[in-house]
Amino acid sequence: MSLLTLRDLAATLRNRPVFSNVSLTIDEGELVGLIGPNGAGKTTLMRAALGLLPRQSGQSSLAALSTAERARAVAWMPQAREIAWPIPVERLVALGRLPYLPLSGKIPAEDRAKIDAAIAHLGLEAFRTRAASRLSGGEQARALIARAIAQDTPLLMADEPIAGLDPAHQIATMQVFADLAATGRSTLVSLHDLGLAARHCTRLILLAEGGILADGPPQDVLTDALLARAFGVTAWHQHTPSGPVFQPLEVL
Amino acid sequence: MRLFLILFALVAALFALSLTIGPARTGPLDSLAALFVGGDGPLPMVMREIRLPRALLAALVGGGLGMAGAALQGYLRNPLAEPGLIGVSGSAALGAVLALQAGLTATASLGLPLAALLGAVIGVFLVIGLAGARGGSLTLILAGIAISALASALTSLVLNLSPNPFAANDIVFWMMGSLADRSMTHFWLALPFVAVGGILLASTARGLDALTLGEDAAETLGLSLTRLRLLVVLGTAAIVGGATAVAGAIGFVGLVVPHILRPFVGAQPSRLLWASALGGAALLLIADISVRVILPDRDLKLGVVTALIGAPLFLHLIFKTRRELP
């Protein structure tokens, strides 16, 4: 069953067309990396898919849902890592359960279990009672990823979730997304680290020149020709005994 | 829960204390007995007609302003927001000032509060109209500032051109805010507005929590931002309009109370709503008691005292925040 279907999606920001004719489908169990140069419209594409833009054309299966239905279909982690108040990390993660909670606001045991699981998944046990807004940037990002995972939706969309994380946590976070894919949940994640994208994503979507330039398995997208065209770089890309290794080399 | 009980006990104690203070020199137990047992003597009259409405209004207005401050800070995600920000207190004051200038207060005892309510209603519709149905919190702040500035300019204009020095005097004193000489009629007039506002704001609790994550994330958590904003603006306007109509402009309660209580509720906006309602009631009761204890012979104005209590508290918080900065 497809979790997200876009058909001829186009978005315009301040009378400037960002992209057009975007059509794609995300099925269960995928870890899709959305890559593209700065300003290609990765964030705008995700927000348009969610139906958050005031002016967009084309169809998105998520934008067609009501606000309440959408909250159970997709979790969204925006690029701006906003934590307005110094609330404890466990309360921050618990916000992911808001769409499911009864009106009384009490958190039932099964929701509590999902919150605990998300905290454990991101290795945040030691931070549970710490004020989320006073954590370091990388720790905040992990708390916000845990919040999105606690929402327990079939699809997770995250805008540059691993930017600013240390290498161990970058790898661990991509592994968290891969674990979700193994249970049939899918993730659409925008990222700039093409090495991690090559290693962890099951599929890459290259957004450039106002549309989708390539969509497929990493080895089909990270080709010399496409890299030169979209990013203007050369790269070294090999399948090694320890998995695919990708390293950008020089600016063309 | 423990915080709730502590605050509730504090409000109850201050309420009882407020009932026992006044120029009529009677023992506290006699006063309370006169209130509950009743009778026709002068003391039961004093209790029911003078002290009870005063204490009730202090709790009602303070509670409303505290809650409105917490809701507005939560909605704007800014600890410096206060209920006056959306321009309703300014427009309510303008309505009251026009009523004073026109001499409405002499012909009808409720002329002033009703004129203030009318000003508040006009103000809130102007703000909502200016800010637009959709849009972020920024347009709301800008619209609020515009209406506040306009209302305060018009108020100044009325003072400036006032041919009657007594009216000008009345206006200046009214704008300082007071709960002296209010009747139960004032309480019944303000109650529905503050109560409806409180209910509207209480329904935003979950949305305010979600907004901790920013507008985008809150919207994908199933929240309608348009609806939330309308609830916050209408709820705050109802409370501020009702409170300003009967008590005049009382500042600092909505700003300081949420700020003080935030650490005690884990900074959670939804829990801060209730805590600030109780805290606001407590602060205004303290202020209104101080007004009567410090200078019983002079008509010390409530708004002056809240500012005198609030400003040092605020300074203390600023220094605390500075210490916490890296």
The CATH number given to whatever domain includes residue B289 is 1.10.3470.10
Element of type H or E holding A4 = strand A2-13
Q: Does residue A99 form part of some domain?
A: yes
Q: 3-state DSSP call for residue A201?
A: coil
Instruction: Say which of A54, A84, A99 has its CB closest to residue B212.
Output: A84
Q: Does residue B50 form part of some domain?
A: no
A161 backbone dihedrals φ, ψ, rounded to 5°: -70, -25
Q: Does residue B286 form part of some domain?
A: yes
Report the C-alpha gap between B103 and B89 in whole angstroms: 21
For residue B247, what are the domain limits?
Answer: 55-311
CATH number of the CATH domain containing A167: 3.40.50.300
Report the C-alpha gap between B269 and B74 in whole angstroms: 6
| Among B115, B137, B117, residue whose Cα is nearest residue B127 | B137
Q: Does residue A226 form part of some domain?
A: no
When divided into structural domains, chain A yields a total of 1
CB count in 10 Å sphere of residue A214: 18
Q: Does residue B109 form part of some domain?
A: yes
Q: Does residue B3 form part of some domain?
A: no
Predicted local confidence at residue B28, as pLDDT:
72
Q: Does residue B8 form part of some domain?
A: no
Report the C-alpha gap between B111 and B117 in whole angstroms: 10
Q: Hey, are the CB atoms on A74 and B220 less than 8 Å from each other?
A: yes
Q: Does residue A86 form part of some domain?
A: yes
Instruction: Decide if A236 contacts A195 (C-beta within 8 A).
Output: no
For residue A106, what are the domain limits?
Answer: 2-215
Q: Does residue A250 form part of some domain?
A: no
CB pairs under 8 A between A and B: 77
Q: Does residue B169 form part of some domain?
A: yes
Q: Confirm whether the ipTM is greater than 0.85.
A: yes
Instruction: Over range B254-261, report the average pLDDT.
Output: 91
- Name, in order, each residue with C-beta under 8 angstroms of A25's C-beta and a sequence gap of 6 or more: A2, A4, A5, A6
Instruction: Say which of B216, B222, B267 has its CB closest to residue A85.
Output: B267
Task: Please state the separation of Cα B313 from the chain's center in Å.
Answer: 18
Token output for B224: 């309608």
Q: Does residue B247 form part of some domain?
A: yes
Is the CA virtual torsion A186, A190, A193, A198 positive or negative? Answer: positive
CB count in 10 Å sphere of residue B27: 9
What torsion, rounded to 10 degrees, do the Cα atoms B204, B207, B209, B211 define?
A: -130
Q: Does residue A237 form part of some domain?
A: no
Q: Hey, are the CB atoms on B212 and A77 less than 8 Å from each other?
A: no
For A143, nearest residue in chain B (alpha carbons): B213
Q: Answer whether A107 touches B (CB < 8 Å).
A: no
Q: Does residue A209 form part of some domain?
A: yes
Q: Does residue B270 form part of some domain?
A: yes
Q: Does residue A168 form part of some domain?
A: yes
pLDDT above 70 covers what percent of chain A? 99
Predicted local confidence at residue B212, as pLDDT:
92
Report the C-alpha gap between B163 and A114 in whole angstroms: 70
When divided into structural domains, chain B yields a total of 1
How big is the CA angle at A229 (ends A227 and A230), to the nearest 5 degrees?
A: 70
Output the tens digit of pLDDT for each of chain A's 252 residues: 789 999 999 998 888 888 989 999 999 999 999 999 998 899 999 999 999 887 778 889 998 899 889 999 999 999 988 899 999 999 999 999 998 887 776 788 888 999 999 999 888 999 999 999 888 888 999 999 999 999 999 999 999 999 888 999 999 999 999 999 999 999 999 999 999 999 999 999 999 988 999 999 998 999 999 999 999 999 998 888 888 899 988 888
